[in-house]
Amino acid sequence: QVQLVESGGGLVQPGGSLRLSCIASTSIFSIGTMGWYRQAPGKQRELVSTITSAGRTNYADSVRGRFTISRDNAKNTVYLQMNSLKPEDTAVYYCNVVLPWSDYWGRGTQVTVSA
């Protein structure tokens, strides 16, 4: 069983920045594709960004150029640097890891962008 714990969410003004972190309970995470997803009230969960074990990244069009995903396998951690935040980025952000036998989710961290 892999456990993922997100942190770094909070309240920020439009145009501000936040850095989310997700720590995995096991180093096995280094072989998986990591991802950040988000779910706003009344909406479906959507992909924000992913990063493969080789470091290949992918971004949703809505965040490309503003968000940066990275990973530190030595620390079992994946990050999401979010800049130029907009009110529409408000959501619960979830960490995900896809391994050959299953995928796992964290419990999420709330990000609120408001003046």
Tell me the pLDDT tens digit for each residue of 71-93: 998 899 999 999 999 999 999 99
Question: In which residue are the tokens 């640097």 written?
Answer: 81
Confidence of residue 31 (pLDDT cuts 50, 70, 90): confident
Whether the pLDDT of residue 48 is over 90: the answer is: yes
CB 29, CB 84: distance < 8 Å:
no
pLDDT of 29 > 80? The answer is no
Residue 2 has pLDDT above 90, yes or no: no
Over residues 36-49, the mean pLDDT reads: 97
Find all residues with CB under 8 Å of 16, minimum gap 6, and list them.
Answer: 85, 113
